[in-house]
Amino acid sequence: MNQSMLAARKAQSLKNTINKSSDHRVAAAIVAYFPDRAVIEDLIVALHSQVDALYLFCNGANEIDQAQFAHDTRLAHYAYFPQNPGLGFALNEALTAAQKNLCTHLLLFDQDSAVDDMYVTQMLEQLEHATVLSGPNIPIAAIGPSFYDIRHPEQVETQFRYRGRRIDVSRNSEPVRVDCLITSGMLLNLSKLKTNDRFDESYFVDQVDSEWCFRIGAQGFWLFAAPSVRLGHRLSDHQRRVGSWTFLQYSPIRRYWFYKNCTRMIKSSNTPWIWKLRLASIMLIWFIPNLFIDRQPLATLMMMAKGIFSGLFTPSQGTSARA
């Protein structure tokens, strides 16, 4: 018996033990947009033996992949949205599916996430640990992992922030309270959330997770990060190196959504004032450098400016978040 089969059996055994002892029912949802078939296959294999239900929501895929996903018996639910309604819409579909299946927890993943065979068990343990640390009367909405870029696995991202200030977790393996999380790898505590605690679909792609976290936080929920749990992630499709510095390149349309949604969050009453200042600073500091980092500087300039203008005249919260 090879190592992968032994690891899969071990993960399955641990999953059964956790579910029997604590009545956990865990679902995992992958949101994809024209995914790399090999990369997403590795994620499906890694998750299938660890969860009770695995969902895949595609906002875009080629015909071959679409047909294969539709007949993949490992997926409890598959949905294809050819018009690409956005990340927020797909995340809400995942929430709906998990709640209909009476799941107690929901894990969210991007198509390029990479997990090991103990990921789900570790996240559940860290959530339980956070519950002990905070007390039984504190509603914990979600917990997230630390990250490493799969192209640079030695560089672990642990820049968590609480009340806007960076937390040093280099020597801390315990869960820490944070202001916001990234959706990829996030474990949602569905037993605490209400059916209307949904993602804002009008944010489409950028800052969907941050807006949700600030809104949930304003309702009294707590968020935690688990520094000891690592998730592989591809931070950007393209990178540009200048000396010892690495900069992330994005398309003009991604710059548009970032600047639009940051502007909307700055206007929002749910966003803590320290984060309003931080978002404004990021927008200002990176406005000029982005023109030298990206491949289409003129288009980037136009879309960042358009995003700011659009954000000023768009409500800070969409109707899907108020449902």
pLDDT tier for residue 235 given thresholds of 50, 70 and 90 = low
Q: Give me the pLDDT at residue 272, please.
A: 96
Same domain, 130 and 214: yes
Contact 211, 279 (CB under 8 A): no
Same domain, 198 and 218: yes
Same domain, 186 and 245: no
Q: Give me the pLDDT at residue 287, please.
A: 96
Which pLDDT tens digit goes with each residue over 86-104? 999 999 999 999 999 999 9
Query: Domain boundary at 204, 233, 262, which?
Result: 233
In whole angstroms, what is the distance from residue 53 CA to residue 249 CA? 35
In whole angstroms, what is the distance from residue 306 CA to residue 283 CA? 13
Same domain, 104 and 79: yes
Q: Residue 220: count other Cβ atoms within 10 Å of its Cβ.
A: 9
Q: Is the pLDDT of residue 76 over 60?
A: yes
In the chain the first and final C-alpha atoms are separated, in Å, by 51
Same domain, 181 and 291: no
Mean of per-residue pLDDT scores for the chain: 88
The range of the structural domain enclosing residue 299 comes to 238-322
Same domain, 140 and 158: yes
Q: Is the pLDDT of residue 201 over 80?
A: yes
Amino acid at 119: Y
Contact 291, 303 (CB under 8 A): no
Report the run of H or E that residue 31 belongs to, with start and end: strand 26-32
Which pLDDT tens digit goes with each residue over 245-273? 667 889 999 999 999 999 999 999 999 99
CA 195 to chain centre: 19
Query: Domain boundary at 203, 233, 263, which?
Result: 233
Q: Give me the pLDDT at residue 89, please.
A: 97
Same domain, 306 and 203: no
pLDDT tier for residue 17 given thresholds of 50, 70 and 90 = very low
For 129-197, give the DSSP string.
HHHHHH-TTS-EEEEEEEEEETTEEEEEE---EETTEE---TT--S-EEES---STT-EEETTTS-TT-
Same domain, 210 and 258: no
Q: Give me the pLDDT at residue 150, please.
A: 78
In whole angstroms, what is the distance from residue 229 CA to residue 244 CA? 27
Same domain, 110 and 258: no
pLDDT tier for residue 165 given thresholds of 50, 70 and 90 = confident
Higher pLDDT, 58 or 318: 58
pLDDT tier for residue 285 given thresholds of 50, 70 and 90 = very high
pLDDT tier for residue 20 given thresholds of 50, 70 and 90 = very low
CATH number of the domain within which 225 lies: 3.90.550.60
Contact 207, 160 (CB under 8 A): no
Number of domains comprising the chain: 2
Same domain, 60 and 112: yes
Same domain, 189 and 245: no
Query: Domain boundary at 233, 263, 290, which?
Result: 233
Higher pLDDT, 163 or 188: 188
Same domain, 183 and 263: no
